[in-house]
Structure 1
Amino acid sequence: MYIKQIYTNCLSQASYYIESGDECVIIDPIRDIDDYKTLINSRKTKLIYVLETHFHADFVSGHLELSNKYNCPIVYGPNANTNYNSISLKDGEFLSIGKVKMQIIHTPGHTLESVSYLLLDEENKQHSLYTGDTLFIGDVGRPDLAVDNGLTQKDLCSMLYDSLYNKIMKLDDEILIYPAHGSGTQCGKNLSSETFSTLGNQKINNYALNYKNYQDFCDGILLNLPKSPSYFKDSAYKNKNGYKSQSKLLENSLRALDKSTFLRYYKDDYFVLDTRKSKSFSKMHLKGSINVSLNGRYAISAANLIDVKTNLLIISDIGFEKESIVRLNRVGFDNIIGFLSGGINSIKNEKKLIDSIEEKSGKDLHLLNSHEIIDVRNKSEFDTLHVKGAKNYPLFDIINNTSKFKTNKKYAIHCLTGYRSSIASSLLKKHNINNIINVKDGFNGISKNNKVILQ
């Protein structure tokens, strides 16, 4: 038996390759399947099932891509009605993979069709549980994403409680817990940076598994749930009903646009996404473009701030055009028109269209006396420690708060490292808030400045 966790940092997402003999399965794949193909080829195995724990809302799955490539069935648990060929198994049913077995455990709550897959080894011993978004390390899946089914959050919370306390927690303490996400996902609110654990460890250290009764559990799980991103519904719809193939998307979107063509789209108000590093963006960028760099939670950030149905233009470093597009496809951006041929340098002489953002280090924050300090970290980060007098507008909320910024005021924008503040600065510039300084090393740099008061 061979198990490999395949972790995609930009999505905070884990998929799994499980092999026994010459057969294998893949659980919760992402849309671009090259890594899985490489693994299957190198291991010389046959893919016999693609297993889905539920209809994912935060990314577009690769189930259809793999099923079409390897002519193997897609498997769900109960209540999964799809508009493509799939198998819906009942609670307690088994699948054979070489010399091992997988048992389907229906664990609704995060969604109605959510299941966990219990792997039984060659000796029929409980080995590991693939929990999807039902149980994370340090947290559980949020129970508010399937309320359109005529159910309330409390209805789903009741199901989640039963799935956890009366099903999962009855399993052996020694089994490994393999969830679909780690820290950074918006499918939970308090995930650990660890991506696997044991059930016994989680019974001790996961707050959600330590409530005395259902009511306390429900109150705690529903407390301070952030608003779910609008793109979640679109991804879930695609995963349930089908979507364009990755090859067709690339054929339509991986197109080099010359300067005149690109600027024609730009002047027609097509949305421009610049995927270069924040330092390069600050020095020179196309007016009105938004900077979401590849070197962070790129896809999640873009999907939270840009309508995934938007007609999108890409500016990237040369050689990173395909990566910029493929990673956006993962969260449902299917209307990418193309990228600027030659990158930003091809338009650098268009002086009236070029802009920049001033940057400062955290060590100089105390010198910015005329600037209002804007902290775009999450509320929990801000509440833990922040600059005295700073205002908190979390990045994903800032687009709904641009009216609170004044064109005649000066602002110093910071996050933790400079990644989110560069995004926020570009968003504010797009809304004509131009008197901005981006604190390039964020709170990490500010906290070393003993002339700044923290509270």
Structure 2
Amino acid sequence: MNACTATPAYVNTQKAQQSGENFFIQQFQVSCLGQFSYYIESNNEAAIIDPMRDYEDYIKFSESRNSVIKYVILTHLHADFVAGHLDLAKITGAQIVLGPQAVTQYQAKIAQDEELLPLGRAYLRVVHTPGHTLESSCFVLVVDDKDHVVFSGDSLFLEEVGRPDLASKSSGLTTHQLASLLYHSLRNKIMKLEDDVILYPGHGAGSSCGKAIGAGTVSTIGEQKLKNWALQNITEEEFVKISTDIPAPPQYFFHDVQLNRQGANDLLNIKSKVTKPLSYQEFAQVAADGALILDSRDVVNKGIIKGSINITQVATLASFVGILFKPDQRIVIVADEGKEEITIIRLLRIGYENILGYLEGGFDNYVRNGGEVQQLNIVDLKDFLDTKDQPQNHVFIDCRNPPEFKTTGIVPGSLMIPLFQIENQLDLIPKDKTLHIYCRSGARAKTAATILLRHGYSDFVLIQNAGLEHIVKEHQIQVQKVE
């Protein structure tokens, strides 16, 4: 399965195996968004927690187990993806459930704190944990009067907590006030669970919903009490200071919250509308009319279409698009053959629906028709580091994120300009020098280079599928530490 399909990550957790026939849990993982969703079943009744917009896998999985989906649950109104709750409920007849204080523009059960939702021979107990958002809630699986599992949504992650700055506009509270709410939710609700309760979070490493989410997909309350900074013996003031020291959220987050509150378009209808093959002439016309050309190809050694932005399938395509471009941006796609649909699905997952279609035949068709091509100068590691004994004419640019600068250091003397700030800091980037652009793996560097090409830069070098780690390992350079 594609790494960005809602892929089952576990078939029976250790705890589910111990419980015999009373319950079953399946975790689904969408790695490119760092997102987890869940199938919970007891006695042929099932609940889906935080489903992705492309919902088909949940239905297929339920059918394979001969279960009936009773509930579709949102732990909160999500900001980083468009949920599939409306389509799932429409198709299966399931009831949509959200926690206390949720406000929606569609019919849903707004559960009460500590309410029990019957599920076969088990219950899901609603635990209201405001802070990430006002309606944020955890759902505890109760079997035989014992708490077995907590689905914590974005209230608690592995070694991190949810960011408290997403609901300040809708709630009327400040980010600091929301952080204070989260501090008390953790201590008065989550930390009161027994240490052996299994913790299933809403996100893993790579998600922008937390500042520094730890690796892994599952934990226990006891383990997090030991490892998670937010559950240590710190004051409310200390917690607020740490949790609010976080970069601004991606611009699309507020767009997605609103879509999840009001209800997004039917997935199959919008997907059918935008999955449209375009001839070269049609493609050239929409591009000339100002549509953004999104090139999702992984390998661009043959060049790119003039004016296009390369964000590869290898990269977290949806997140990059959501940070770099506004949700109403008109987009036309150039993809590797057979990957047009997954590119479109990734965009629809974050609510980007202004897709005009994709170039039929891809890049090769563009070239055959005489389209103008720009080259990316991709070289090996040795040539990348070569300043030809004229270092004054060369500038290294590290386009990773600030936490990465501090963790691993940089190539000495590099300009530190995160990818998402490139267009805002063009005045720092000289056009009369050779630019050596790098990141962790090479994907962000290619995106940065295509952005710079659109602004008239042409003298730069990149490394193919390599970054700082490879530079240090292969050439044993001494990195410059960043405080």
Structure 2 length as normaliser, TM-score?
0.91
Cα distance per residue 1:376-428 (max 9 Å; x no partner): 11112112321110111112222322332233222010001111111111111
Equivalent residue of 2:161, what SS?
coil
Give 1:347 shift: 1.2
The equivalent of 1:355 in structure 2 is 374
Give 1:9 shift: 0.6
Q: Which of 336, 339, 347 is the equivalent residue of 1:317?
A: 336
Q: Which amino acid aligns with 2:287?
A: Y
Work out whether residues 138 and 153 of structure 2, in 8 Å CA contact, stay in contact via their aligned partners in 1: yes
Aligned partners of 1:31, 1:451: CA distance in 2, in Å?
45
The equivalent of 2:417 in structure 1 is 393
Q: Which amino acid aligns with 1:192?
A: G
Aligned partners of 2:369, 2:307: CA distance in 1, in Å?
14
Q: Which of 207, 219, 241 is the equivalent residue of 2:262?
A: 241
The equivalent of 1:382 in structure 2 is 405
Give 1:433 shift: 1.5
The equivalent of 1:253 in structure 2 is 274
Equivalent residue of 2:100, what SS?
coil
Does residue 442 in structure 1 map to residue 467 in structure 2?
A: yes
Q: Which of 198, 216, 236 is the equivalent residue of 1:194?
A: 216
Q: Which amino acid aligns with 1:433?
A: Y
**Structure 2 gap ranges (5+):** 1-22
Q: Which of 273, 278, 291 is the equivalent residue of 2:310?
A: 291
Give the 3 Å change call, closer, same or farther, for CA 411–145 of structure 1 in structure 2.
same
Aligned partners of 1:109, 1:236: CA distance in 2, in Å?
15
Q: Which of 227, 234, 237 is the equivalent residue of 2:248?
A: 227
After superposition, where does 1:42-441 map in structure 2 within 5 Å? Answer: 42-121=64-143, 123-148=144-169, 149-223=171-245, 225-277=246-298, 280-349=299-368, 351=370, 353-368=372-387, 369=391, 370-384=393-407, 385-440=409-464, 441=466
Cα distance per residue 1:92-134 (max 9 Å; x no partner): 100011001010000000000000001112x221101111100
Work out whether residues 52 and 76 of structure 1, in 8 Å CA contact, stay in contact via their aligned partners in 2: yes
Q: Which amino acid aligns with 1:17?
A: Y
Between 198-207 and 437-446, report the one with greater CA deviation: 437-446
The equivalent of 2:10 in structure 1 is none
Cα distance per residue 1:414-445 (max 9 Å; x no partner): 00111111111111112221112112211122
Give 1:317 shift: 1.0
Work out whether residues 363 and 445 of structure 1, in 8 Å CA contact, stay in contact via their aligned partners in 2: no
Aligned partners of 1:450, 1:265: CA distance in 2, in Å?
45
Aligned partners of 1:295, 1:42: CA distance in 2, in Å?
31
Give 1:287 shift: 0.6
Aligned partners of 1:102, 1:399: CA distance in 2, in Å?
47
Equivalent residue of 1:236, what SS?
helix
Q: Which amino acid aligns with 1:373?
A: F
Q: Which of 45, 52, 56 is the equivalent residue of 1:23?
A: 45
**Structure 1 gap ranges (5+):** none
Aligned partners of 1:352, 1:234: CA distance in 2, in Å?
35
Equivalent residue of 1:229, what SS?
coil
Aligned partners of 1:3, 1:228: CA distance in 2, in Å?
31
Between 249-258 and 366-375, report the one with greater CA deviation: 366-375
Q: Which amino acid aligns with 2:469?
A: N
Work out whether residues 384 and 462 of structure 2, in 8 Å CA contact, stay in contact via their aligned partners in 1: no
Work out whether residues 118 and 129 of structure 1, in 8 Å CA contact, stay in contact via their aligned partners in 2: yes
Q: Which amino acid aligns with 1:383?
A: K
Between 263-272 and 396-405, report the one with greater CA deviation: 396-405
Give 1:351 shift: 4.8
Give 1:346 shift: 0.7
Aligned partners of 1:290, 1:366: CA distance in 2, in Å?
25
Between 365-374 and 165-174, report the one with greater CA deviation: 365-374
Q: Which amino acid aligns with 1:435?
A: D
Aligned partners of 1:449, 1:77: CA distance in 2, in Å?
52
Equivalent residue of 1:339, what SS?
strand
Aligned partners of 1:221, 1:451: CA distance in 2, in Å?
36
Equivalent residue of 1:19, what SS?
strand
Equivalent residue of 2:156, what SS?
coil
State how many pairs are aligned. Answer: 451
Equivalent residue of 1:447, what SS?
helix
Aligned partners of 2:456, 2:368: CA distance in 1, in Å?
22
Equivalent residue of 2:475, what SS?
coil
Aligned partners of 2:312, 2:30: CA distance in 1, in Å?
16
Give 1:267 shift: 1.0
Work out whether residues 176 and 199 of structure 1, in 8 Å CA contact, stay in contact via their aligned partners in 2: yes
Equivalent residue of 1:295, what SS?
coil
Work out whether residues 305 and 371 of structure 2, in 8 Å CA contact, stay in contact via their aligned partners in 1: no
Between 245-254 and 7-16, report the one with greater CA deviation: 245-254
